[in-house]
Amino acid sequence: MMPEIEFLKQALPNAHTVYLIAAIDEIKLYLTEPKALEFARTHLDLNDGVAHLNLLDHQLYFVLVPNETYSQEEGLEYLRKKGYDISKNLAYYKAKAVQLVTTSGDTKPLIALAEGLALSNYQFLKYKSDKTSKSLHSITITGPGLSAKHAEDLYTVIEAVFKARDLVNEPVIYLTAEQLSHEIGDLADQYGFSLEVLEKKDIQAYKMGGLLAVNEGSPNPPTFNILEYKHAKAANTHPIVLIGKGVVYDTGGLSLKPTPGSMDSMKCDMAGAAAVIGTFMAVAKAQLPIHLVGLIPATENRPDGNAITPGDVITMMSGKTVEVLNTDAEGRLILADALHFAERYEPSLIIDLATLTGAAARAIGKEGIVFMGTADADTKAQLTEAGMQTCERLVEFPLWREYEDYMKSDIADLKNIGPAEAGATTAGIFLKHFTTYPWLHLDIAGPAFKEGGEWNYRGKGGTGIGVRLLCEFLNEFVG
Ligand code: BES
Ligand code: ZN
Ligand code: ZN
């Protein structure tokens, strides 16, 4: 359940409270009893910058802002994680409401703490018989620089992250490509953006050879989803196009995923699509003055009787031919058609998000997003900075000319896999062949899905990666 997030002018007495303090001495503002003061002081010193006082009918937490060994953005992440720790403790006390209080005029640290706390409340209960939510109902924020707008903006982004997580966590038995289109349609109506769904016959008419080829092995048809949000006073004259990989399940196709367990989480292969959908929700709800187009090619990748075979040559929407030597490298095939389709919008920028390669995950693990592309250095720097502020961090990989040779086919224009090395880069090199506008490719295979236990405030299962990043980037873009 999504907790309400509200701004309170004045903190309430005797309520569960988290005080964010800049120095230990600030506890004197909130505690008078000498024993309580002594306890809080000792625990802030000993206990990693947090003191917890159990006042029986309510819990108090003091969180000390991190010291100077933390950079500004590391400090924000530190506080999100403290938000997670406190959410666990509040759950132990079955708390339903908590207030966050600061005396500082700097709003970002308190918002980060609130964000971590709120994001930690996510649960995917749809398939549980017992749907009792253990989460908080209400989070309030109080401080000199804060306003109702801060609370609203935070709510908007967190709601979008939760939706992205929901979509990723939905198994393919429910979330087929067609169902994904229905879900986007409902959100479009609810939040105020438009959706056009191309069905299989339309996709055939457009000759989207990549999307059709990947879909051949699946009993369920593909869809191609066109989302649009255009504010009357858009800051950009040419739209920004967001493309999300929408492989609702990736078995690998006939090149069936070989390693034990490697298929288990492949419902997450539409996490790029989920990030785009979440971003549209948030942007439309906040009524950002911007023009955005979203493109989501959606299909399963399965090995049914008619599935494409390694060695097949297909013709893409752009007219280029591709020798498919591994049907598990399917994401680039559907993205290539979307990248080509994007040309008709004459975009100022294209950003694609995709769980594209295990190689990206192997290179940097879960701790960031591998990116590359042809957009200018300023745009790359702005996106990278948005990544630092949200801790959805980016690291750039090169698209050196020499990699081009890795993707040459003997019988077609391109092949869809390269050698064992540089797997994330060669996927990017492949995509580059289908772009004619400034473009950035974000490989989110590492952080998109957390198997096993919780990954702090990012939860388990779908993380919703990309939503906070894009919202921050677009908010800064409109200024
Ligand atoms: N969906 C996978 C990539 C992936 C791996 C996503 C792990 C999330 C977690 C993608 O379609 C894929 O199978 N890529 C292959 C490419 C290879 C055949 C060139 C891979 O990374 O192994
Ligand atoms: Zn694959
Ligand atoms: Zn895939």
Q: What is the pLDDT of residue 388?
A: 98
Neighbours of 26 (CB within 10 A): 18
Judge contact between 360 and 447, C-beta under 8 A: no
Which ligand minimizes its atom distance to the CA of 245? Answer: 3
Instruction: Evaluate whether 352 touches 441 at the Cβ level (below 8 Å).
Output: yes
The DSSP string of 431-461 is: HHTT--S-EEEEE-TTTTEE-SS--GGG-SE
Atom of ligand 1 nearest to the CA of 252: 13
N-term to C-term CA, the chain? 32
Domain ranges across the chain? 4-144, 159-477
Residues within a 6 A CB radius of ligand 1: 250, 269, 326, 328-331, 355-359, 361, 417, 423, 445
247 φ, ψ (degrees, to nearest 5): -80, 105
Residue 264 neighbours by CB under 8 Å, 6+ apart: 451
Strand ranges, E, within 96-162: 97-102, 138-142
User: Which residue has its alpha carbon closest to ligand 1 atom 3?
Assistant: 357
Domain spanning 159-477, CATH architecture: 3-Layer(aba) Sandwich (3.40)
Pocket residue to mutate for ligand 1, from 328, 330, 416, most atoms within 8 A of Cβ: 328
Phi, psi of 437 (to 5 degrees): -120, 165
Which residue owns the Cα nearest ligand 1 atom 13?
328
Closest-CA residue to 464 (of 258, 317, 278): 278
Q: In testing the pocket of ligand 1, which one of 270, 356, 366 has its CB within 8 Å of the most ligand atoms?
A: 356
What is the signed CA dihedral for 251, 254, 260, 261, rounded to 10 degrees? 0
Write the pLDDT tens digit of every residue in 154-203: 999 999 999 999 999 999 999 999 999 999 999 999 999 999 999 999 99
What integer pLDDT is reported at residue 345 of this predicted model?
Answer: 98
**Average of per-residue pLDDT across 270-299:** 99
Quote the pLDDT of residue 48. 81
**Structure-token pair, residue 242:** 């967001």
Residue 377 amino acid letter? A
Output the CA–CA distances (angstroms, integers) from residue 86 to 59, 77, 81, 301, 346, in the order listed.
10, 14, 9, 41, 47
Ligand with the closest atom to the CA of 427: 1
* The pLDDT value given to residue 133: 86
DSSP H or E segment with residue 62: strand 59-64
**What is d(CA 56, CA 16) in angstroms, rounded to the nearest whole number?**
10
Residue 266 has, within 13 A of its CA and on its CB side, a CA count of: 25
Say how many Å lie between the CA of residue 415 and the centre of ligand 2.
Answer: 15
- Two tokens at 283? 């942007």
* Predicted local distance difference test score (pLDDT) of residue 1: 80
> How close is the Cα of 269 to the center of ligand 1, in Å?
9
Which of 37-51, 70-84, 346-360, 452-466 has the least mean pLDDT?
37-51
What is the pLDDT at residue 227? 99
pTM value is: 0.98
Q: Which residues pair with 249 in a beta bridge?
A: 300
- Residue 134's pLDDT is what? 83
State how far the alpha carbon of 120 is from the alpha carbons of 35, 83, 112, 340, 360, in Å. 32, 8, 12, 38, 26
Listed in sequence order, the DSSP H helices in 120-250 are 148-169, 177-191, 200-205, 209-215
Supply the mean pLDDT for the chain: 97
Residue nearest to atom 17 of ligand 1 (CA): 329
For atom 9 of ligand 1, which residue has the closest CA? 445
- Residue 424 CA, ligand 1 centroid: distance in Å: 9
pLDDT one-digit tens code per residue, 324-365: 999 999 999 999 999 999 999 999 999 999 999 999 999 999
Residue 249 has pLDDT above 80, yes or no: yes
Residues serving a catalytic function are 257, 332
Contact 354, 443 (CB under 8 A): yes
Residue 357: what are its φ and ψ, rounded to 5°? -140, 140
45 has a pLDDT exceeding 90: no
Vertex 182: Cα angle to 176 and 184 (nearest 5): 105
9 exposed, middle or buried (CB, 10 Å; 0-12, 13-18, 19+)? exposed
Cα 198 to Cα 227: distance, rounded to the nearest angstrom = 11
Mutation to probe ligand 1, out of 301, 352, 357, 416 (largest number of atoms < 8 A from CB): 357
14-29: average pLDDT:
96
What's the CA-to-centroid distance between 30 and ligand 1, angstroms? Answer: 53
> Closest residue (by CA) to atom 8 of ligand 1?
445
356 Cα to the center of ligand 1, angstroms: 6
Alpha-carbon distance values, 370 to 156, 302, 398 (Å): 26, 26, 10
Give CA–CA dist 226/201, Å, rounded. 15
CATH number for the domain formed by residue range(s) 4-144? 3.40.220.10
